[in-house]
Amino acid sequence: MKANLMFCDRDFRSEVFFGKDTLETDLEIKHIISAMSRGDKAIAAACSDAIFNPLMSIEEIQYRQEALKDALSNPQVVRELYDIATELFTRKKESYFRLSTSQFLSNNFTNAIALLKIYMEMLLKLRGVADLNSEPFKSQAFVNLMERLKSELSDDYFKEVRANLDELKDTNEILIGVKLGGYNQGAGYRLLRKNRKGFRRRWTFAPSYTVSKQDQEGLSDLQLRRERAINEVTNALVQAVEHIENFFTALQTELAFYVGCINLRDCLRELGMPTCIPCLLPFEQEDRSWSGLYDMSLVLTKKAPVTANDLEMKNTRLCIITGANQGGKTTFLRSFGQAQLMAQCGMFVGAESFTAPMRKGIFTHFRKEEDAYMKSGKLDEELARMSRLAEHLQRGCLVLFNESFAATNEREGSEICRNIIQALVDNEIEVFSVTHLYTFADAFRGYRKVRYLRAQRLESGERTYKIIPGEPLQTAYGEDLYKKIFA
C-alpha cells in the first residue's frame, strides 16, 4: 500500500539540490521551516526536503495543491493521521523488539510477530480515521488514501492476520514437516499449521522422543532443525514488517509536510497576513503578477504585519531594482524568492495573489560580509561563487542577485555585472538584480525585456518600503541616512 500524498504515482524522496544552504541562508527559509515544524524534527526535515526539491511539472504541482487545500480544510484529521504514524515509531522505539541479521533466526521470528501485532493496532487506528472522516476530502491524493485504507484494511483482513499471529506466537509447540533426503538426511524443512483436522489426535498418539536437558548436542541439533523449519516463515514476517514500516515512513513524511503547512498557515493567520494558492505558468512564459506579496521570514521574526508589494510584469526576462538605501529592496527580493520556491513545491505563498512561470532551478547570489575564513578578497570570492553557480545553470532557470560585484569601484563592478547578466539573459535565464551600480543598471535601457523597479522614497526622505516601477537614479540617497543618524 502506498501513501501517494505528494505524488500520484510514487513516494516522496529527497534529492540533492545544489546551492540549498546558500538559498536557505539568503532567503531566510529557516524561519519559515521553524514555524512549520514547531520543534518537530520529522516535520522540519520533510518541509525542508519538499521546499528545496521544486517540482518540474504543472500537473504535479496541481496534484499537491489540491491535497494541500484538503489538508488546510481538514486540519484535525490530517494531524490525527500524522500522530498515528508517529506513534508507531515511538512505540517501536520504546519496545525491545528489534530485527537484525546478527540475531538468531528464532529471535527475529519472535520479534517480527510482536512488531506486527503493534503495527496491526496502528493500521486499525488508520482505518478507523478513514471510516469516520473520508467524506470531507475532495482531492485525488486524500480520497485515494482513504479508499485504500478502507478497502485493503478490511475486517476480514485483520481477523485473518490476528489468527495467524496468534498461532505463530505459540513458540513452545511448533509442528515441523520434513522429508527424507539423501543419506537419510532431513530435507525440505517447513513449518506446518497446527489447526488442521485431526491435528491434536495425531500429535497426541504419534511416536515421540524427549530430548534430555543434559543432552546439549541434542538440544543444539533440535534448535538448528527448528530454525531451518521457520526460516521461510521468518523471512515472510520480516518482509511484512519492513513493508508496513516503509508505508508508515512514507505516510509520516508526506503528512508531515501538510501538517507543517497547516502550522505555518495558522501562524500567519494569527499575525493577520494573507496566503494564497499560486497559479503556475509554463516554463516558456515571461509574465508575472502578484498583489500583497510580503517577506514571510520578516513577518515571523517581527511577529507583526509588514509592508507588501503589488506588481505586474509582461514579457520580462531581466528585472533591475534600484533606489534609496534601506528602502526595502533586499526584503522585496527575498519575498519574491520565497514565493517562487514555495509555489514550485506545491505550497501556498505569502501574498493575496501570485502568478508566475515555473523555473528549472532557483539560485541566489547575495553579497556576503567579510569573515576570517576568506582566503582572498571579496570580489574574488564573489566571482568564484558565480563560477560554481554557472556550472548548474540552464535555460529556464531563475537567478537572484543582491548587490553583487560591488566590492570594487563603480566602473569595474558595473562592467563585471553587465557581462555576466547579459550572458544569462541571452541564454534565456531570468534575472532579478538589486544593485547600487548605476552604470550597470543604465546599460540595459535599450534591452526590450528589461523592467526597472525602484524603492519608493517620499519627498521628505521617508522610506515606504514599497517597490514601484521607476528608472534608475544616480543616487541612492545615502545622505538621508546620514541626516537621520547624525543630524
pLDDT in tens, 333-382: 999 999 999 999 999 999 999 999 999 999 999 988 765 555 557 889 99
Alpha-carbon span 313 to 318, nearest angstrom: 10
Integer CA distances (angstroms), 293 to 358, 362, 467, in order: 18, 18, 11
**By three-state DSSP, how is residue 104 classified?**
coil
| Distance (Å, whole) CA 7 – CA 49 | 14
Question: CB neighbours (10 Å) of residue 307?
Answer: 17
Q: State how far the Cα of 115 lies from the Cα of 99, in Å rounded to an integer.
A: 9
**Higher confidence at residue 77 or residue 206?**
77
Instruction: Please provide the average confidence, as pLDDT, over all residues in the chain.
Output: 89
pLDDT above 70 covers a percentage of the chain that reads 91
Distance separating alpha carbons of residues 250 and 240, to the nearest angstrom? 16
The predicted pLDDT at position 325 comes to 86
- Cell representation of residue 404: 553583487
Residue 180 has pLDDT above 90, yes or no: no
Q: Is 53's pLDDT higher than 80? A: yes
What residues are paired with 290 via a beta bridge? 311, 354
Pairing mode, if any, of strands 450-457 and 430-434?
Answer: unpaired
pLDDT value for 169: 73
pLDDT at 476: 66
Q: How far apart are CA 415 and CA 405, in angstroms?
A: 9
Higher-scoring residue by pLDDT: 468, 184:
468
Contact status, residue 277 vs residue 27, Cβ threshold 8 Å = no
Q: Which of 477, 431, 421, 420 is nearest to 454 (CA)?
A: 477
- Which residues lie below 8 Å from residue 245, measured CB to CB, with a gap of 6+? 119
Structure letter (DSSP) for residue 19: T
Integer Cα distance of 412 and 409 in angstroms: 6
Q: Please give the Cα distance from 344 to 283 (Å, whole number).
A: 12
Residue 7 banded pLDDT, cuts 50, 70, 90: very high
A 10 A CB-CB count for 186 gives 13
Grid cell 526590450 is found at 448
Portion of the chain with pLDDT greater than 90, in percent:
66
Which amino acid does the sequence have at 404? S
Confidence of residue 170 (pLDDT cuts 50, 70, 90): low
pLDDT at 197: 64
| 141 exposure class (CB count in 10 Å sphere: 0-12, 13-18, 19+) | buried
User: In the numeric block, which cell numbers belong to residue 61?
Assistant: 504541482
Residue pair 133/74 in contact (Cβ under 8 Å)? The answer is: yes
Q: What is the DSSP letter of 352?
A: S
pLDDT at 163 over 90: no
* Residue 416 Ramachandran class (φ > 0 left, ψ -120 to 50 alpha, else beta): alpha
What pLDDT does 16 receive?
74
Q: 410, 437 in Cβ contact below 8 A?
A: yes
The single-letter code of the amino acid at 175 is: L
Apex CA 257: angle with CA 251 and CA 258, to 5°?
Answer: 90
Q: What is the DSSP-derived secondary structure letter of residue 432?
A: E
What phi and psi, each to the nearest 5 degrees, are found at residue 365? Answer: -140, 90
Per the structure block, which three cell numbers stand in for 291?
Answer: 498583489
For position 199, what pLDDT does the model report? 62
Among the ranges given (52-56, 96-100, 276-280, 326-330), the one the predictor scored with the smallest mean pLDDT: 96-100
Condensed to tens digits (0 to 9), the pLDDT of residues 208-218 reads 777 777 778 77
For the cut 70, the answer to whether the pLDDT of residue 482 exceeds it is no
pLDDT confidence band for 101 (50 / 70 / 90): low
**CA–CA gap between residue 421 and residue 433 (Å, rounded):** 9
Instruction: Determine the Cα–Cα distance for residues 72 and 438; give it in Å rounded to an integer.
Output: 46
Q: For the chain, what is the total number of helices (H) and then of strands (E)?
A: 16, 12
**Confidence check: pLDDT of 107 > 90:** no
Given pLDDT bands bounded at 50, 70 and 90, which one contains residue 444?
Answer: very high
Residue 198 pLDDT: 62
* CA atoms of 483 and 231, how far apart (whole Å): 83
Q: How confident is the model at residue 475 (pLDDT cuts 50, 70, 90)?
A: confident
Calpha distance 141→12 (Å, rounded): 13
Work out the pLDDT band at 261, boundaries 50, 70, 90: very high
Q: How many CB atoms lie within 10 A of CB 48?
A: 21
What percent helix, strand, coil does the chain show, rounded to 5? 50, 15, 35
